[in-house]
Amino acid sequence: MEISCRRINKKPNISSHDALCKFWDTLSPSDMIDVFLVKQNEKIITSLITISYKQELHLWRYGWSGECHQYNPNAFLYWEIIRWAKEKGYVSVDLGGIDRNFALSWMNKWPLPENNLNSLFKMKFGGEIKIMPESLIFFRRNISNNMYAKMMSSKLSKYVTNMIQ
């Protein structure tokens, strides 16, 4: 996963090896987590961790060494997981998020934004795009909402936004 993230210039979204192990230990007794591998000569080329919930299978985290690209190991892995999910009786397979601007462009048949290879890769499998609501910060008390709105409209907004991210 670290190699894949470096290749697309993103940080891995698992805080640590220990966190992943705890997550695995929590979900594995209920058979809610699996790992799928593609190997060549006993060397792992690509892998993907899935999480199941009820009749849905979610493709959660993946990693690709960058090797054997001529064989399309990631596409092979996705298709094999989709086939496996169908055999197991899952109703849907969630391929994970795609870029919001890419999704809107795809749905509206607008020119696609550049540098969205991950989104384009996932769209090749067909299926349905679901646009999720944008992020929202909500405070139960009006005074907190008013304070937040004032901070965001003030000169502090850049600092607050960076701090939140």
Contact status, residue 131 vs residue 104, Cβ threshold 8 Å: yes
**61 lies in some domain:** yes
CATH assignment at residue 81: 3.40.630.30
Whether residue 59 is contained in a domain is answered as yes
Residue 121 lies in a domain: no
Res 18: pLDDT: 87
Same domain, 60 and 6: yes
Dihedral sign computed on CA atoms, order 53, 59, 62, 68 = positive
Q: From CA 103, how far away is CA 60, in angstroms rounded?
A: 19
* Structure tokens belonging to residue 30: 């209920």
Q: Which of 96, 127, 149 is the last residue of a domain?
A: 96
Whether 105 is covered by a domain: the verdict is no
Q: How far apart are CA 105 and CA 99, in angstroms?
A: 10
Closest CA to 60 of 11, 91, 98, 95: 95
Per the structure, the complete domain to which residue 143 belongs is given by 135-165
Domain-located, residue 87 = yes
Query: Does any domain span residue 77?
Result: yes
85 and 144 both lie in a single domain: no
- Structurally, how many domains does the chain consist of? 2
DSSP β-ladder status, 43-53 and 92-94: unpaired
In a domain? residue 128? no
Query: What is residue 162's predicted lDDT score, i.e. its pLDDT?
Result: 43
Residues of the chain with pLDDT below 70 are: 1-10, 12-13, 15, 136-141, 143-165
Q: Same structural domain for residues 88 and 21?
A: yes
The answer on 8 and 89 residing in a single domain is yes
Q: What gap in Å lies between CA 125 and CA 95, rounded to an integer?
A: 9
Question: 91 and 15, same structural domain?
Answer: yes
By the 8 A CB rule, do 1 and 63 touch? yes
Distance CA 139, CA 149 (A): 11
- Give the end-to-end CA distance of the chain in Å, rounded to a whole number: 22
Q: What letter would DSSP give residue 96?
A: -
Q: Which residues pair with 38 in a beta bridge?
A: 46
